[in-house]
């Protein structure tokens, strides 16, 4: 018992997992896209911040070197070297990332020397490694790499100026003007490349933002559509289950109230219908017919039960065809049938019974190469008393049917609570013929 309960719980758990698995996958996909979006935007933001520091440091390097050129103060040269170390560190980091294989540690040290925040460095390395082929990033890298010769020239200029200032300030005005003008040109070139680098990153950042927004919207719509589809599927499954349950209930109800062979109402449904008619019976007359086949045993004995079943089905169809819309036809068991005739006067009930007898008399049952004449003994009870009970009504109809058999069969016997009235049919045919 415990093992069965455990297995049932396991199956229930697996069924729940199966139902929610599409939602889990979409939510995981959405979370992955969101995480990727944050990482990508954070890395781009780190490059934007790094570019600002890189550009400012280059300008500061030119500025302090120019001051040192005119003043010769060692502190200004130290500030120049400190400022120049920032773009040189970024340059080393880029070179390390462009190698094959990539030198991650050198790149990390270079970005840290470039003044980038330690938390931003992994994202900057990741973005360069896997997205350097994207158009906007290629443009930015080209502007970045274009400053390498200028950084080298600025480094050389610094050493040259430092060498010339060892013997004192430069007195040659033309020489001083040349060096100062070249520093101004370098500063202008640095500024141009930095602006183009910033523009490329800005365009890329906006493109990435738009792309990731569209991806997130599409993913959200996919989640909504999946939710709608899954909910509709569950509703359809539930509706199908309810329809199947309703159909099963109707089938069970039909089977409980109908004969399995002929499809007519069974004894239970017949007695319930008769009781209902008796309970609602007032001034209107009620007819009750019991019919017993006369030749059923001979068919069963000579041809087998399959032939007998076929005969019962054909008789049931005949009775259904001859009934009024409000009449109830039932098979009580064996070869015994019954009809309830609501709102039926006695002479109408007798007329209906006689027409049924006549239809049976004209009916021939064929089985293989044999043909059987079929007749019926019919008992009719005409109920006009509203106090008649079910047992009494059945007793009267049954007694009439019995008397019909006693008096020769193939006839209608009426019991209306008074003196018996016998309707004698024409001379009956032979019970069976080959």
Do 204 and 57 share a structural domain?
yes
Residue 34, Cα to own-chain centre: how many angstroms? 25
Tell me the CATH number at 361. 3.30.70.270
Do 120 and 6 share a structural domain?
yes
The Cα 222–Cα 219 span in angstroms is 5
Q: Between these two residues, 204 and 3, which has the higher pLDDT value?
A: 204
Do 227 and 271 share a structural domain?
no
Q: Which of 124, 20, 107 minimizes the C-alpha distance to 132? A: 124
Do 207 and 310 share a structural domain?
no
Domain assignment of residue 357, yes or no? yes
Domain assignment of residue 257, yes or no? no
Question: For residue 426, is pLDDT > 60?
Answer: no
Task: Write down the pLDDT at residue 369.
Answer: 87
Domain assignment of residue 192, yes or no? yes
Question: For residue 430, is pLDDT > 50?
Answer: no
Residue 165 is classified by DSSP as G
Helix (H) or strand (E) holding 326: none
pLDDT bracket for residue 427 (50, 70, 90) = very low
The Cα 428–Cα 183 span in angstroms is 138
Last residue of a domain, one of 203, 231, 259: 231
Largest CA distance in the chain: 159
Domain assignment of residue 245, yes or no? no
Last residue of a domain, one of 205, 231, 257: 231
Do 192 and 124 share a structural domain?
yes
- Rounded to 10 degrees, the C-alpha dihedral 301/304/306/307 comes to -60
Q: Which domain holds residue 396?
A: 267-423
Task: Write down the pLDDT at residue 421.
Answer: 46
Do 222 and 314 share a structural domain?
no
Least confident of 41-50, 244-253, 262-271: 41-50
Do 332 and 208 share a structural domain?
no
Instruction: Confirm if 157 and 70 have CB atoms less than 8 A apart.
Output: no
Instruction: Confirm if 338 and 407 have CB atoms less than 8 A apart.
Output: no
The Cα 144–Cα 127 span in angstroms is 15
Do 304 and 206 share a structural domain?
no
Q: Between these two residues, 390 and 203, which has the higher pLDDT value?
A: 390
Q: Between these two residues, 382 and 31, which has the higher pLDDT value?
A: 382
Do 215 and 171 share a structural domain?
yes
Model confidence pLDDT, tens digit, residues 56-101 = 888 898 899 888 888 888 899 899 899 989 999 999 999 999 888 9
Number of domains in the chain: 2
Do 279 and 227 share a structural domain?
no
Average pLDDT rounded to a whole number, residues 204-219: 81
The Cα 412–Cα 434 span in angstroms is 27
Residue 134 is classified by DSSP as S
Instruction: Confirm if 29 and 219 have CB atoms less than 8 A apart.
Output: yes
Task: Write down the pLDDT at residue 235.
Answer: 85
What phi and psi, each to the nearest 5 degrees, are found at residue 184?
-65, -40
């Amino acid at each position: 018992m415990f093992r069965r309960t455990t297995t049932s719980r396991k199956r229930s758990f697996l069924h729940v997992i199966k139902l929610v698995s599409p939602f889990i996958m979409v939510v995981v996909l959405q979370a992955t896209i969101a995480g990727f979006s944050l990482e990508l935007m954070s890395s781009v933001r780190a490059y934007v911040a790094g570019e600002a520091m890189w550009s400012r440091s280059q300008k500061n390097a030119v500025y302090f070197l120019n001051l040192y050129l005119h003043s010769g103060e060692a502190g200004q040269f130290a500030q120049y070297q400190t400022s120049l170390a920032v773009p040189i560190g970024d340059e080393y980091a880029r070179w390390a990332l462009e190698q094959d294989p990539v030198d991650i540690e050198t790149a990390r040290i270079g970005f840290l020397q470039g003044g980038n925040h330690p938390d931003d460095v992994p994202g900057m390395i990741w973005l360069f490694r896997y997205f350097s082929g994207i158009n906007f990033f290629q443009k930015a890298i080209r502007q970045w790499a274009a400053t390498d010769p200028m950084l080298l020239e600025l480094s050389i200029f610094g050493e040259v100026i430092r060498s010339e200032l060892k013997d004192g300030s430069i007195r040659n005005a033309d020489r001083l003007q040349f060096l100062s003008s070249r520093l101004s040109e370098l500063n202008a070139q640095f500024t141009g490349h930095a602006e183009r680098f910033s523009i490329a990153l800005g365009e890329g950042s906006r493109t990435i933002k738009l792309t990731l927004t569209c991806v997130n919207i599409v993913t959200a719509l996919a989640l909504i559509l999946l939710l709608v589809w899954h909910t509709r599927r569950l509703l359809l499954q539930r509706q199908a289950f309810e329809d199947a349950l309703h159909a099963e209930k109707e089938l069970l109800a039909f089977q409980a109230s109908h004969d399995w062979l002929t499809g007519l109402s069974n004894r239970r449904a017949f007695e319930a219908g008769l009781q209902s008619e008796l309970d609602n019976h007032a001034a209107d007359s009620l007819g009750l017919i019991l019919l017993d086949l006369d030749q059923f045993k001979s068919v069963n004995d000579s041809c087998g039960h399959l032939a007998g079943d076929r005969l019962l089905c054909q008789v049931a169809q005949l009775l259904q065809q001859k009934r009024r819309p409000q009449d109830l036809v039932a098979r009580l068991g064996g070869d015994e049938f019954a009809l309830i005739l609501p709102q039926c006067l006695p002479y109408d009930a007798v007329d209906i019974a006689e027409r049924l007898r006549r239809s049976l008399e004209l009916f021939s049952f064929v089985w293989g190469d044999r043909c059987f004449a079929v007749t019926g003994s019919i008992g009719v009870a005409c109920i006009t008393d509203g106090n008649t009970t079910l047992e009494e009504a059945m007793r009267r109809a049954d007694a009439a049917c019995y008397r019909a058999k006693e008096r020769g069969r193939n006839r209608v016997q009426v019991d209306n609570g008074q003196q018996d009235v016998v309707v004698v049919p024409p001379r009956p045919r032979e019970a069976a013929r080959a």
